[in-house]
Amino acid sequence: MTPRKIRTRIAPSPTGFLHLGTARTALYSWAYARHFDGEFVLRIEDTDVARSTQDSVDQILASMHWLGLEYNEGPIYQMQRLDRYKAVIDQLIAEGKAYYCYSTPEELDAVREAKKARGEKALYDGRWRPAPGKTLPPIPAGVPPVVRFCNPPDGDVSWDDLVKGPITISNREIDDLIIARTDGVPTYNFAVVVDDWDMEISHVFRGDEHINNTPWQINIFHALGAPLPQFGHCPVILGDDGQKLSKRRGAVSVTAYEEGGYLPEAMLNYLARLGWSHGDEELFTSEQLVVWFDGTHLNKSPAQWDPVKLLWVNAQYIKQADNTRLAGLVATQLAKQGITLDASTIETHLPQVCALLKDRCDTTVALATWAAKFYGDITPDATELAQHVTDAVRPAVAMLAEKLSTCAWDKASIAAVIKEVLAANGLKMPQLAMPVRVLVMGTAQTPSLDGVLEMCGKEKVIARLAKA
């Protein structure tokens, strides 16, 4: 037998944004396919018509694009494949592997309650399941049927999970799954199998909330005579409070991190590391991930989302990032604060400001907050003003302003003027630098003074020093 081509997929439901957990399994699926020179497919599982929205589809596509998770095929929409599902369902019915069930919700509730009362698992009682010699109930008028899959009544379903290792679940634990609703739309567990079969998916990475669905899916694969993919179920991501990361617990959408000033490569690096390791490597590019990621070393136990570590990772990438690229990102963040810059400032001046500040910023939002001091207004902190801008230093500040007004505007000339003023007033650097920083940048903690003054521009510096 020739080995199967490696084909992976991510199959988000467009009932909300791209969740961090899904982004992580998308990343693993993508990296696995790339590692083995395979293909990665994006499928949109939109059969939950009531909850699926175009807005969610758009957000999912935008997030995948932002993260750089390019797919070889897709997006494929399940709702465009209804004819295919119907054909497979009809075939299963014809082969006696699926059947119509006319039980009403009330009947099903009653069965469930009765089973529960007897201490049994509340499974479907199989009353519409055909069997040799069995007489089925008369078909009730006006009750639209669902279609159920004939799950094997006995035996076990086992698979060797790429993440969790061997898993076995008894068929007695599961019942005859509904595979088509009364309106004919297939359910998740059925559509996912037909799709993974048709799309020749060889490896399925997904969240471990789907472990309990897998036995059904494996039984359906067998019923269809379809080859089984290998499954890898990744543990949930826990929030920093140890609870499952959820909408109610902080930001869980990829989009929120984009808006929060994270770089996509930092996000990828952090997500990859969250649930997988390569020795003790913490910082790596996505190309490096592709080289290393072969489906091993995936953690069996849940990872904890660590916002502080993510910030640290982001800061490392910001330090290395190209200044022109940072300028573009910072300009977008500045615009959100109401500061719009012209194209030439963004192309020439802002990159230098980014270069000056990026070592002290862990997000592009933080970078924009700093950059705003160069382009917008500043309000010096009153306590810092009182502490640093004293009568003793005011004459030196005035002298500095005066000398700067005629000085050539480059770092070296500015540094020379500062030196001259320090000497003339018998001051040490911090005695002058602190008040000047507070006056010009609104805070005493800034990068090197000459660099800050140069970037701020002569006019602004003189005007701000005049407020001493």
* Assigned token pair, 332: 């977008």
Taking contact as CB under 6 A, which single stretch among the options 6-14, 103-111, 268-276, 347-355 is the one that binds ligand GLU?
A: 6-14
53-69 in b/e burial notation, b at 16+ Cβ within 10 A? eeebbebbbebbebbeb
DSSP 232: E
Q: Tell me if 194 contacts ligand GLU by CB under 6 A.
A: no
Bridge partners of 73, per DSSP, are 41
Query: Shortest approach of ligand GLU to residue 210 CB, angstroms?
Result: 5
CB of 207 to ligand GLU, least distance (A): 6
DSSP string, 46-70: ---TTT--HHHHHHHHHHHHHHT--
Angle (nearest 5°) at CA 171 between 170 and 174: 110
Stretch of residues binding ligand GLU (CB under 6 A), selected from 10-18, 90-98, 151-159, 314-322: 10-18
Least Cβ distance, residue 134 to ligand GLU (angstroms): 34
Q: Total residues contacting ligand GLU (rule CB under 6 A)?
A: 7
Query: Least distance in Å: CB of 261 to ligand GLU?
Result: 27
Judged by CB under 6 A, does residue 189 bind ligand GLU?
no
| DSSP three-state, residue 318 | helix
Nearest approach, Cβ of 220 to ligand GLU (angstroms)?
13
Residue 206 near ligand GLU by CB under 6 A: yes
Contact status: 192 vs ligand GLU (CB under 6 A): yes
E-state strands within 20-172:
39-44, 73-77, 98-101, 146-149, 156-161, 165-170
For residues 7 and 206, which CB has a smaller minimum distance to ligand GLU in the complex? 206
Whole-number minimum distance, CB 43 to ligand GLU, in Å? 8
Query: Are 256 and 307 contacting, i.e. CB atoms less than 8 angstroms apart?
Result: no
13 near ligand GLU, judged by CB under 6 A:
yes
Positions of E strands within 69-195: 73-77, 98-101, 146-149, 156-161, 165-170, 178-180
Place of tokens 């091993």: 296
**Could you tell me the smallest distance in angstroms from the CB atom of residue 205 to ligand GLU?**
8
Question: Which residues lie closer than 8 Å to 157 by C-beta, 6 or more apart?
Answer: 168, 169, 170, 171, 214, 215, 218, 219
CB of residue 11 vs ligand GLU: minimum separation in angstroms?
4
Interaction between residue 81 and ligand GLU (CB under 6 A): no
Q: Which is nearer to ligand GLU, 160 or 209 (CB)?
A: 209
Give dist(CA 9, CA 95) in Å, integer: 30
* CA dist., res. 258 & res. 263, Å (int): 7
Interatomic CA distance for residues 442 and 381, integer angstroms:
6
Q: Does 148 bind ligand GLU (CB under 6 A)?
A: no
Q: Which of residues 208-237 bind ligand GLU (CB under 6 A)?
A: 210
Q: Give whichever of 192 and 354 is closer to ligand GLU, judged by the CB atom.
A: 192
Does 12 participate in binding ligand GLU (rule CB under 6 A)?
yes
- For ligand GLU, the closer of residues 90 and 209 by Cβ is 209
Could you say which of 6, 7, 11, 27 contacts ligand GLU (CB under 6 A)? 11
**One residue of 27, 28, 41, 45 binding ligand GLU per CB under 6 A:** 45
Q: Are strands 156-161 and 165-170 parallel, antiparallel or unpaired?
A: antiparallel
Task: Note the residues at the interface with ligand GLU (CB under 6 A).
Answer: 11-13, 45, 192, 206, 210
